[in-house]
Structure 1
Amino acid sequence: MRLNQLVVSVVLVLLGIPSMATAQSNWNVKQTFHIGGEGGWDYVTIDAQSHRLFVTRSTHTQVIDDESGKVLGDIPGQIRSHGVALVPKLNRGFITDGGGKGAILVFDLKTYAVLGKLAAMPDADGIIYDRKTDLVLAVSGDGNALMTFHPDIDPQSGKIDAPIELGGAPEFLAADGEGKAFVNLEDKDLVAVVDLNTRKVLAKWPVAPGGHPVGMSMDRNAHRLFIGCRNPQKLVVMNAENGKIEAALPIGAGVDATGYYNGQSFASCRDGSLTVIGTAGDKFAVEQTVKTADGARTMGIDGGNHQIYLPTSEFEDATGGGRPKSKPGTFKLVVVGR
């Protein structure tokens, strides 16, 4: 750091004002939990109060203690699981199953017992719970739609609401807590803005200079979306009020998730990189790139213990230029902290 930069940073610290330099903190791999078990993996959902991780594993979903790595439960009955949404007030969780005709599995948060399955649309994928509207929101990639239902639905005979047509293939989503949802349309390079009360698409905003948006997270206080794009490889910062692109920063290859925590945003990528981006007012900069592990493309952030969890496995050597195959029984969680 140059002398004048150092002086400015010291002054800002004394005044209690954050700067890019002072906001930087070193994130590093702290440990690796070797979990094992069969199946691939997709999204990670954190229950910060109980320090539990819910990780979808294709045909089942594992519940893992995020302090010890111990497997607390294993929820069966999926064909191709993707994501988990949690509603603690009802002691319920919901798992999207994109296999077959599509389904959403309902389970008990304490016993992990399966309570029932809801018929859904094909390729049920990203799923979240929005407290403001008291709705579970899930997207159907093949159905080009947003699915919604109240979490107190009858798990045996309940029916989800009529789908909201999006006009593109959704991947993941966020809600602003004020009645709007934002959905990545991967094939259109757009973000669809949905009014959850009127159930109408209000706008579609381009993510350029990024493309193929997949991961999404949100800073609700600042009304910003953090969108992970694969082609070009960018972390796009979008104003959630008007769709303006505030920044587009370089990230690794194969991003699948983004996260926001305590003034920093993160992009986890298949190439084994975790990009850390700092915010100072309306300025953004890459502060750090953490080397995690190959295949660690999704993540969950536990704000309670200030750690990030990235699922992956060991891989066989790729042949013929194709994607390497996961070695059976080598599933693990890479734990990143400060």
Structure 2
Amino acid sequence: MITLGWTWATSFAAKMYRKDTQLPIVTMRSLFHNVVVVASLAGLAQSSVMAQKSPAYSFIQKISLPGDGKWDYLKMDGERERLFVSHFDRVHVIDLATSKPIGDITGLHGVHGIALAKALKKGYISNGTDSTVTVFDYNTFRVLKTINVPGKKPDAILFDKYANRIFAFCNGDKVAIAIDAKTDEVVGKVEVGEAPEFAVTTDDGLVYVNLEDSNEVVAFDPKTLTVKHKFSLGTGVQPTGLAMDAATNRLFSVCRKSKTLVVLDAATGKIVQTVPIGGGVDAVVFDKERKLVMTSNGEGTVTIMHQDSPDTYSVVQTLPTKPGQKTLVHRGTTHRIYLSGADLQADGKTPVAGTFGVYVYGPAANE
């Protein structure tokens, strides 16, 4: 920043000096000195603003959890301070007040995502291996029902308040399955397109979902189950994670092949900015208070960006994590992020037995 100020100062001073002005040399030196001082202060001010943006995230703790096998989505319930962690054949439930596990939902088959219908005191889990959705009691964690879904490999799952429905997005198919949250019966499906991934809801009439194979974001009406919009993200980008800033109506789609965050206007689909991020990305979150977009990259980093304006984003930190930590959730009250994972063997893929857990990262307490 100071270098930019110096360049501007010298250019300005040079323009001020012309042969026809015949300024005394002392006056010229004074003018040049004053311009440089102002420019330097401006540069320092800009540097200070950038420093204030920087969240200075770092590792806080690991919450160790039993069992081995693959992991996927996490689900945050900030109101009751609970964290739900998918883990192969079970979902762990952690009390965030104590950072201790308080229960497990077991007997699952290739678990992927978790959705919560808290007003109905129920939760839902997508099982990719046997194409089912498990319904559980939110208070006791007891399994209430297993729903067979007419689609292959349900992956992402969410609850939409507007329609009072659960949507299971079948990554091995082209559909999102709609489930009535009161009756727990399948009531329809949406033909969204190839390989749906992460999804978000506005809770007022639209659900957005990334399409991994066709490189698009699709928006549909959760009541009529009709597609309203299709927005292109480019060619060969492979979108995975999706988040939204409702206040500015911006979508944040992270793309694994292109290693980019694509920011879209949710109303028009216009791409307003593309930001480079780390490799192996799977998820993205938005901290609306601090205006931070954070992406979990399987290579072992989190890319943290500041929302300077609805259409301008700047990288403020690349946080080292651990290879394989590719999904995350955000806790609004503490601004902490939670990533699941395990130590990996020499092949970089196989988990080391007994090392699974949730890794917590966040800003310093006084920031």
Q: With structure 2 as the length reference, what TM-score do the two structures score?
A: 0.84
Q: Is the 8 A contact 2:68 2:351 kept in 1?
A: no
Q: CA RMSD in A?
A: 1.7
Alignment correspondent of 2:202:
176
* Runs of 4+ residues over 4 Å off in structure 1: none
Of structures 1 and 2, the larger Rg is shown by 2
Q: How far is the alpha carbon of 1:238 from its aligned partner?
A: 1.0
DSSP 3-state at the match of 1:89:
helix
Matching of residues 88-99 of structure 1 within 5 Å: 88-99=118-129
Q: Is the 8 A contact 2:179 2:187 kept in 1?
A: yes
Counterpart Cα distance in 1 of 2:115 and 2:204: 19
1:326 and 2:351 equivalent? Answer: yes
Counterpart Cα distance in 1 of 2:294 and 2:236: 16
Alignment correspondent of 1:16:
none
DSSP 3-state at the match of 2:45:
helix
The one of 313, 330, 339 aligned to 1:284? 313
Indicate the percent of aligned positions where both proteins have the same amino acid.
Answer: 33
Residues 171-206 of structure 1: per-residue CA shift (max 9 Å, x gap): 111112221111111001111111223321122111
Which residue type is aligned with residue 184 of structure 1?
A: N
Alignment correspondent of 1:113:
142
Q: How far is the alpha carbon of 1:5 from its aligned partner?
A: 3.4
Between structures 1 and 2, the one with greater helix share: 2
Q: Is the 8 A contact 1:296 1:310 kept in 2?
A: yes
Counterpart Cα distance in 1 of 2:99 and 2:67: 13
Residues 230-282 of structure 1: per-residue CA shift (max 9 Å, x gap): 11110111111110111111111111100011211110011110010101122
Counterpart Cα distance in 1 of 2:236 and 2:53: 25
Q: Which runs of 5+ in 1 are unaligned?
A: 11-18
Work out which structure has the larger RCO, using CA pairs closer than 8 Å and 6 or more positions apart in sequence. 1
The one of 163, 170, 174 aligned to 1:133? 163
Counterpart Cα distance in 2 of 1:275 and 1:193: 26
Q: Is the 8 A contact 1:181 1:193 kept in 2?
A: yes
Counterpart Cα distance in 2 of 1:285 and 1:132: 34
Which residue type is aligned with residue 334 of structure 2?
A: N
Alignment correspondent of 1:79:
109
1:246 and 2:276 equivalent? Answer: no
The one of 260, 263, 267 aligned to 2:286? 260
Counterpart Cα distance in 2 of 1:148 and 1:122: 14
Residues 105-156 of structure 1: per-residue CA shift (max 9 Å, x gap): 00011110000111112200001112222222220112211111232124xx
Which residue type is aligned with residue 251 of structure 1?
A: I
Q: With structure 1 as the length reference, what TM-score do the two structures score?
A: 0.90
Matching of residues 50-65 of structure 1 within 5 Å: 50-65=80-95
Which residue type is aligned with residue 42 of structure 2?
A: N
Alignment correspondent of 2:53:
23
Which residue type is aligned with residue 283 of structure 1?
A: T
Counterpart Cα distance in 2 of 1:274 and 1:65: 24
Which residue type is aligned with residue 315 of structure 1?
A: L
Counterpart Cα distance in 2 of 1:240 and 1:21: 30
Q: Which runs of 5+ in 2 are unaligned?
A: 3-40
